[in-house]
Amino acid sequence: MTFSDKLPRPFFILAPMDDVTDTVFRQIVADCARPDLFFTEFVNVDGLQSTGREHLLPKLKITDKEKPVIAQLWGLEPENFYKTTKELAMMGYAGVDLNMGCPVKTVIKNGACAALINNRPLAREIIEATREAAGGSLPVSVKTRVGFTTVDMGWIEFLLSTKILDMLSIHGRTAKEMSKVPADWGLIGQAVQLRDSLSPATLIVGNGDVTNRRDGEELAAEYNLDGIMIGRGIFHDPFAFSQKSPWHEWTKEQKLELFARHIRLYTDTYQDHQRRFEALRKFCKVYINGFDGAAELRAEFMATDSPENALKILSA
């Protein structure tokens, strides 16, 4: 990978989460305790190459503060992966990641993301089209799970056998399991063994239930991983990537001021109603938590319908 020599071992990544890991939240996390790599939210290439393009472009906003950033893509048409990757190469991205693990039923029903585990010819076409478009300028990676309804390490073997992936991020659950059972890191360790025999240059990143850097470092050492990805753990602590988080010591006022900064940056970034205010409600439990009256304040925030009203509530 073009940036791999600059990354520590293990390196840490903020996982892609829809309506969560946009440019605004990535900037907030960067100010608190930045990871080594950011991923965008997942962006649909078929939508980007259609009349709906303008509605999706805000998902691809980035700033220098967040770099290096990898754009995560999903969709069904290899040609659209090709076209989008060509565009991303000129937009300042550090790489392209292919979402082959999202377990959301509506997405799977259309044959995308985790459904590609059961459609390997199409998965190969998508990978090859993306690699061709990337040339030598952008690394190409895949984020996936260890199977569809049951564990299927043949899927991981298939991905590694393409020998054209720079990085493979593996969530230690099947698509059917979603997040309902503990992640199986032993299976991620098996993926490392497959990598060593099939594609030694491919970096392996583990994902699932990691909430802080210390636990991630222990897992990386135990399973010989190149990197660790933290997803939902960031909802518990914006300083999840720090060596020693101060979050549990922060006062109510400090937490609410950080939320207010998030909201102000959101409204400055997405003008002309590019994104809905309601998306900010997902962050209530991040900031409005851990102090007396938090539950009542969250309920009051959830009833607001504008940034102006939200800021009034947080400053009251």
Kindly report, residue by residue over 180-204, the tens digit of the pLDDT: 999 999 999 999 999 999 999 999 9
Work out the number of other CB atoms within 10 angstroms of the CB of residue 145: 30
CA distance 36 to 66: 10
Handedness of CA 221, 39, 147, 178 (dihedral sign): positive
pLDDT on residue 110: 96
**Domain stops at, among 244, 273, 291:** 244
Is residue 50 domain-shared with residue 84, that is, in the same domain? yes
Query: What burial class does residue 43 get, using C-beta atoms within 10 Å of its C-beta: 0-12 exposed, 13-18 middle, 19+ buried?
Result: buried
What average pLDDT does this structure show over 288-314?
Answer: 95
Share the mean pLDDT of the chain. Answer: 95
Is residue 124 domain-shared with residue 67, that is, in the same domain? yes
pLDDT on residue 3: 62
Catalytic residues: 102
CA distance 232 to 294: 20
253-283 tens-digit pLDDT: 999 999 999 999 999 999 877 888 999 999 9
Is residue 201 domain-shared with residue 308, that is, in the same domain? no
Is residue 33 domain-shared with residue 69, that is, in the same domain? yes
Res 142 pLDDT > 60 = yes
User: How distant, in Å, are the alpha carbons of 57, 112, 187, 247 from that of 98?
Assistant: 17, 11, 21, 33
Question: Which range of residues forms the domain containing residue 177?
Answer: 4-244
Residue 238 CB contacts under 8 Å (≥ 6 apart), including other chains: 28, 29, 32, 33, 247, 258, 286
Is residue 238 domain-shared with residue 259, that is, in the same domain? no
**Domain stops at, among 195, 223, 244:** 244
14-65 tens-digit pLDDT: 999 999 999 999 999 999 999 999 999 999 999 999 999 999 999 999 999 9
pLDDT on residue 79: 98
Is residue 199 domain-shared with residue 310, that is, in the same domain? no
Q: Which pLDDT band, with edges at 50, 70 and 90, does 5 fall under? A: confident
Is residue 197 domain-shared with residue 295, that is, in the same domain? no
Is residue 64 domain-shared with residue 185, that is, in the same domain? yes
**Domain stops at, among 222, 244, 266:** 244
pLDDT on residue 6: 83
Give which of 256, 272, 274 is closest to 310, Cα–Cα: 256
231-261 tens-digit pLDDT: 999 999 999 999 999 999 999 999 999 999 9
Is residue 283 domain-shared with residue 230, that is, in the same domain? no
Q: Which pLDDT band, with edges at 50, 70 and 90, does 2 fall under? A: low
Domain count within the chain: 2
State the maximum Cα–Cα separation within the chain, in Å, rounded to a whole number.
60
Residue 143: strand pairing partners:
99, 169
pTM of the model: 0.96
Is residue 119 domain-shared with residue 223, that is, in the same domain? yes
**Strand pairing class (167-171; 203-207):** parallel
What average pLDDT does this structure show over 121-140?
Answer: 96
Is residue 136 domain-shared with residue 239, that is, in the same domain? yes
Q: Which pLDDT band, with edges at 50, 70 and 90, does 4 fall under? A: confident
What average pLDDT does this structure show over 156-162?
Answer: 97
pLDDT on residue 1: 44
Res 108 pLDDT > 50 = yes
Is residue 149 domain-shared with residue 255, that is, in the same domain? no
CATH of the domain at 30: 3.20.20.70
61-101 tens-digit pLDDT: 999 999 999 999 999 999 999 999 999 989 999 999 999 99
